[in-house]
Structure formats: structure tokens, C-alpha cells
């Protein structure tokens, strides 16, 4: 699996990136994910991780992870859970991950749009306890159309790419 990190996220997680000088093909790869950092007032710093081929979103609270290794361990669990939801096949315990810098401007643009949308979705995803329901935010993003996708919706694209019939 290839994990494309923004400079800010790599620095925060103290991650040494591979292939610093060269670019790794990113467009349309089912084994490729991109990650960036964003901050929501009163909610802290989070990572937005998107499947490069489908723009399927995951959001992780970075206050819980001090190292790249701990972040990666939990990210793989989140990815595995996403695959399980669509009857896909992903074994996070038996995978090699290469961390590289982000380079695909289309995916970076889609992630920037998603971060902008997250800021508006947070207000709609507040619980009665005044907490943010991050799964609801992820669901909003997964069902938001992105024109860069042939299927337009990340949820539909993810199911079509990695899901299998029940």
C-alpha cells in the first residue's frame, strides 16, 4: 500500500518519507491513499485520509497518535473496517506500507475541497452532548459528489472498486 502524506502530517508524525525526489504514480491506484492534516476549533487537529481512486474518506483524531507507527496501526484498522463494510478484502496485518509525499494535484485539490466541506458538516454533526459525530461527517463526505470521479460519489466509487457482491 502507498500512503501519500502532506508535509505537515509527515512532520507532525515524525515520518521519514520514501522516494523524496521522485514521484510515485497515484492516479487511479486501488492501493493508494492520501492524508493531510486539518484543525477544527474546539475539536483539535485531525487527519483526513482519502482513497486515491475513489476519494473514500476517513477522519482520525491526531491527538491520539504521537508517532507514525501508532497512526499507521490504527489507520490500517480503519481501512480494513471500510473494506469489510463493502465486503471487500483487505488484511491490514499482512501488508507493507510505503509513505511518500503527495504529488497529484487533482487529489490534493479534492482533499482541500473535502476539508472545506468538513468545516460546514461539523455543525450538522453535533450530538446532544455537543460532541462531533465524526462518522456522520465521514458519511456526508462519502455521499458528496466530486466531479473528478466517474461515479461522482466516493461511496459508490469505493463499492464499485473494492466491494464484492454478498
Q: Residues 94-121: what's their mean pLDDT? A: 90
Q: What is the pLDDT of residue 23?
A: 62
Residue 108 scores a pLDDT above 80: yes
Q: What is the pLDDT of residue 137?
A: 95
User: Could you please report the per-residue DSSP string of 1-19?
Assistant: -EEEE-HHHHHHTT-PPSS
Q: CA dist 121 to 38, 54, 93, 104, 135, Å? A: 14, 20, 32, 25, 11
Q: What percent of the chain has pLDDT over 90?
A: 61
Q: What is the pLDDT of residue 163?
A: 85
Residue 11 scores a pLDDT above 90: yes
Say which CATH topology domain 2-162 has.
Nucleotidyltransferase; domain 5 (3.30.420)
Going by C-beta distance under 8 Å and a sequence separation of 6 or more, which residues neighbour residue 2? 24, 26, 29, 31, 32, 33, 97, 98, 100
Computed over every residue of the chain, the mean pLDDT equals 89
DSSP assignment, residue 54?
A: T
**If pLDDT is split at 50, 70 and 90, which confidence band does 115 have?**
very high
Q: Angle 69-72-76 (CA atoms, 0-180°, nearest 5)? A: 145
Q: What is the pLDDT of residue 120?
A: 87
Residue 45: strand, helix, or coil? strand
Q: How far apart are CA 19 and CA 24, in angstroms?
A: 8
Residue 74: strand, helix, or coil? helix
pTM exceeding the 0.75 threshold for the entire prediction: yes
SS3 content of the chain, % helix, strand, coil (to 5): 40, 20, 40
Domain residue ranges in the chain: 2-162
pLDDT in tens, 23-54: 665 556 788 999 999 999 878 999 999 999 99
Going by C-beta distance under 8 Å and a sequence separation of 6 or more, which residues neighbour residue 142? 56, 57, 153, 154, 155, 158
Q: What is the pLDDT of residue 55?
A: 94
Q: What is the pLDDT of residue 166?
A: 57
Q: How far apart are CA 114 and CA 62, in angstroms?
A: 17
H or E element: which one contains 95?
none
Amino acid at each position: 500500500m502507498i500512503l501519500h502524506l502532506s508535509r505537515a502530517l509527515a512532520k507532525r508524525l515524525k515520518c521519514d518519507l520514501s522516494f523524496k525526489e521522485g514521484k510515485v504514480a497515484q492516479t487511479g491506484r486501488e492501493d493508494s491513499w492520501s492524508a493531510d492534516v486539518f484543525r477544527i476549533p474546539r475539536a483539535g487537529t485531525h487527519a483526513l485520509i482519502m482513497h486515491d481512486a475513489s476519494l473514500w474518506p476517513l477522519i482520525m483524531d491526531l491527538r491520539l497518535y504521537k508517532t507514525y507507527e501508532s497512526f499507521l496501526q490504527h489507520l490500517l484498522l480503519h481501512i480494513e473496517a471500510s473494506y469489510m463494510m463493502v465486503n471487500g478484502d483487505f488484511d491490514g496485518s499482512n501488508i507493507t506500507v510505503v509513505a511518500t509525499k503527495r504529488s497529484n494535484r487533482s487529489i490534493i485539490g479534492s482533499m482541500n475541497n473535502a476539508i472545506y466541506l468538513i468545516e460546514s458538516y461539523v455543525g450538522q454533526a453535533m450530538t446532544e452532548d455537543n460532541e462531533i459525530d465524526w462518522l456522520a461527517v465521514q458519511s456526508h463526505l462519502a455521499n458528496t459528489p466530486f466531479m473528478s470521479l466517474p461515479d461522482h460519489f466516493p461511496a459508490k466509487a469505493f463499492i464499485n472498486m473494492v466491494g464484492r457482491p454478498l
